[in-house]
A and B are shown apart, each in its own frame.
Chain A
Amino acid sequence: MRPENYQARSQPPSNEFELNFGPNHPGIEGNYAFRVKLNGDQVLEARADAGYLHRGFEKLMEGRLWIQNIALVPRICVPDPVPMEVCYSLAIEEIGGLEVPERAKWIRVMQLEMSRLAAHLFAFGGHAATTGMYTTMFWGVADRDLILDRFEELTGGRVYSIYNIPGGVRRDVPEGFLDRLSSLLDYLESRLPDYDNLFFTNQVFVKRARGVGAMTQEQALKWGVTGPNLRATGLEFDVRRDDPYLVYDQLDFEIPTESGGDALARNLVRRAELKQSIRILRQVIERLPSIEGPIRCPIPNPLAWNVPAGEAYTRVESSKGELAYYVVSTGGDKPYRVHVRGPSSMHAVQVLEKLALGARLEDIAQIMFSLDACPPEVDR
């Protein structure tokens, strides 16, 4: 523009301004953006801006053989990939009428709880970082790595295990694995008081998190909140117990709840779940050696496998909430349609937008991490 043509545009005086929060921001999980309108540092309006991690998984799955998708689904949620594999496999098993051997079911439960532990360590580690307590994050990540070591041993992969296939699991449990898992659990349990001292009872955290991003149970149900976020509002609902899958009905565990409904309560629920997951894993370690038999039922040649026509909706309790797969088969060698009902799409979009209203700018990151929303799962 030529300088002589420049005229300053006059605007009414205002304290309001817009801020782009993300998509690359240390206070955001993954690549996710938030456009906020602020008055000073108070949020007046918040718009979630998803889609930076959209890879079209649901569409991709329609073009791939049933078995090829097992390598794809764990990528939908990086921190907690196992429920993706298990839930997808459960759906195909339901449509195809496959009888999963008992041993495979126990191995699946073991993985699911290991994954929950790893995901929770990652989640509150992240939350701690948003309040400036990086030690907790380093500890969380370091301890999660020990679980990943066990995943590497069991499944051959550290993060994406690609270990569950329709009909069962791909390899049997290595020799001595349960002993090593058991000593890992001992170690993790011994770490819990440290985490309590460092983070959960730390006033820096407690005072920052209390009352932030609070919702009532009624609101939570209306907004489609599930998992630890829902349990933090006092509702004792868990798919593992209320709609049991695999062998959860044979296991003894509690469903921790809190009543606050805020960022603090959500983290305390996760903290209590660590203990419950360890409890479940100890029961699996005790029972698994006595359950013999195959680890997979016979399945056809994957290159010529027509899953019978039909549809299934299967759900599991992931670390982030209720994860479900809706799979439709028209009797072909590929899925006709797969829909992933991820918990994070509710938490990161509609819930976060509402909880951010009236909050302060520095709490947005805290709210997002306390909801444990996972942007790759939102975008898929």
Chain B
Amino acid sequence: MSDIPYKDKGSILRPFKSLQFFARPAVTQPLEPRPASDNYRGFHVNDWKKCIGCSTCQKVCDNAAITMVRVPGLPEDPVKGIRNERPAIDYGRCCWCGLCVDICPTGSISLTTEYVHTCREDELDSYFVLPDPNGIHGEHFPKGWDKTADADLVDLERQPMGELPGEERIDSFDEIVEGYTEQQAIVEASRCVQCGMCHDACPTHMHAPEYIRAIWEGDVEEAVRQMYRTNPFSHVCGRVCTHRCESACSIGRRGEPVAIRWLKRYAMDAVPDLRIREIAAEGKVDYISGRRIAIVGAGPAGLTAAYDLIRKGHKVTVFEALDKPGGMTRYGIPEYRLPYDRLDADVAVITSLGVQIQYNTRVGRDVTMDELRRDHDAVLIAIGLQLGRSTRIPGSDHPQVRRAVDLLRMITRGESFEVPERAVVIGGGNVAMDIARSLARLQKQQFGKVQITVCALEDFEHFLADPEEVTEAREEGIEILDSRGPKEVVIEDGRLTGLKTLGVISIFDEQGRFAPRYDQQDEQFHPGDMVIESIGQMSDVSLLGEELTERLEWNRGRLKVDEDGHSSEPWLWAAGDMVFGPDVVHAVADGHRVAASMERYLAELDSEKQDDGRTS
């Protein structure tokens, strides 16, 4: 079989064959150093400007060679998703597999073409290296093993979310977003690298890595348990949260961030309401403290505080002026974004723990602050921002100039008003989008077509509303204009005919104060039967009463509170939008903070009482 010219017997002449090698070049390789191949996996380099300290390299390292080290002086910003930690490599453990490079969400880390590192015995520490862009010996070797598109181990694409198409959803207030299926949720959850940037960025520090992991493991109840550690408004936040978590997500550095908000929504919808109540009740103390707490306003801040305090065994009563709970989440957010039954489910969890809500009870009218103080150990006001601000431009006192919050409240409560055939909205925030899109649905139902113009002060680069809100509003036929400042409401014979706007040159002055400058030449007229102002809200603090208002400290019209929401009166706290904006998840975070402060106050009262008992 073998094709070797094989002879059984040797020849005496065969050794002379080796003479031919005298004419050949030597096999020995020259000892000059040669460059490594372009793909070589040598020592690490790390672009510190790109690196965000997410520690994913550390998680994938199969030899535990990577330690995250704090580097003082580097930027650190939880909201942007940047930590001042950088990976340090222990070359006593590293095996140069390069998995850290392939999985790096930012693409900052790579391996160089550098071959050699040696050291004396007293320099053994030099095997522990904090890679920077210059390489282990600062010699700027070219990159070897680097991130390539076809070897990337990060899943950059998000699972698509089903939505009602624009022409279909405009007919009704049905929820637009369909939600994930179980399979989609598990796949989406599997994209997470558990870096915890979301946890740091979230105002209430939700345990997102934990609940995403639980969803991936198929344990939705555990996911809900993790959510209730920090957020009793998970149904609401799963739909309308401003999702700072996703802005900070490390996967979002090069791709689409993990759909943390939709995953939360999926887990909450996947667990039956009754089971959620059982999970939320876990850890509630089984004694009654005897302390009584009054909370004014059944919005997210007030109810979150109520949730925390009832779990500590206090008696909590919430006073709500309207007939339904939720505050701005109900009366400010349209139903197509947040169905009311999901909000009701969140509130039902809180009331199932024993929180009493007294509806149709306006503090200041049906019950006074003095009475609240007399009957309770501590009082929290969390009344939100219920009054819309006015532009105060000429003509803005016309009855057909309305405030967005008033209209949204009327739509939710089913109160009738004359729907304008053409409407102009002033403002560029999410509330402006909410009212424009709600009116668009009513116009479609009544007139069969949508005629709404939104005039925003900001340009599209600095727009306040979420990009998806803008996209969806446009899909629904709403015209959105940027850099338009309101000049005057045009009224002819007592009838409102439209709005004049001017082009915006700048919004803030050199000191960064709000002082818009307009181009007087660039004037436009937007016809309409109604002008809606959506430029911000303020709080209605008349409930406090004159005497208390006098005693409290104020800061530019806002109630002055310390960082825990404690006012200058020892028994009074304030929370939520009225002191600290601007959205649901901030209100939830604020509710927790204030509840903790109230809890400390009550504990002090208890210990004083015990001390008194001992001395007497």
Contact = CB atoms under 8 A, between A and B. Distances in A.
Query: Real complex partners, A and B?
Result: yes
Interface in A145-162: 145, 149, 152-157, 160, 162
B189 interface: yes
A139 B95 contact: no
B36 interface: yes
Contact of B62 (A71, A258, A272, A296): A71
Question: Which of A149, A160, A170, A300 has the most chain B CB atoms closer than 10 A to its own CB?
Answer: A170
A300 B56 CA distance: 15
Interface stretch (A2-10, A196-204, A245-253, A317-325): A196-204
B153 interface: yes
Interface string A59-92: 0000011011111100000000000000000000
A204 B98 CA distance: 46
Contacts, number: 127
A268 to B, nearest CB: 5
Interface stretch (A115-123, A214-222, A302-310, A360-368): A302-310
B480 to A, nearest CB: 37
A339 interface: no
B369 interface: no
A87 B2 CA distance: 29
A256 B194 CA distance: 53
Contact of A301 (B9, B14, B36, B192): B192
A139 B28 CA distance: 9
B190 interface: yes
B213 interface: yes
Nearest to A68: B62
Nearest to A172: B150
A174 interface: yes
A196 B5 contact: yes
Contact of A152 (B40, B62, B99): B40
Nearest to A138: B27
A240 interface: no
Interface size class of A (residues with CB under 8 A): 35 or more
A196 B4 contact: yes
Interface residues of B, number: 51
B190 A142 contact: no
A296 B6 contact: no
B37 A152 contact: yes
Contact of A155 (B27, B39, B63, B190): B39
A304 B214 CA distance: 11
Nearest to B63: A71
A294 B151 CA distance: 10
A301 B190 contact: yes
Interface in B21-38: 27-29, 36-38
Interface string B392-427: 000000000000000000000000000000000000
Interface in B320-374: none
Nearest to A151: B37
B97 A171 contact: no
A214 to B, nearest CB: 17
B37 A64 contact: no
A253 to B, nearest CB: 13
Contacts of A67: 60, 99, 153
A275 B98 contact: no
Contacts of A298: 155
A164 B316 CA distance: 61
Given A172-B150, A294-B150, A272 B1 contact: yes
Interface of B: 1-10, 14, 17, 27-29, 36-41, 56, 59-60, 62-63, 95-99, 102-103, 111, 144-145, 148, 150-151, 153-155, 187, 189-194, 213, 216
7 contacts: A71-B63, A71-B97, A142-B28, A155-B39, A268-B4, A303-B192, A304-B216
Given A142-B29, A156-B98, A303-B59, 11 more contacts: A65-B60, A70-B97, A138-B27, A156-B145, A172-B148, A174-B39, A201-B5, A203-B10, A299-B153, A301-B155, A303-B194
Q: Which 4 A-B pairs have the closest CB atoms?
A: A68-B62, A71-B97, A203-B10, A153-B37
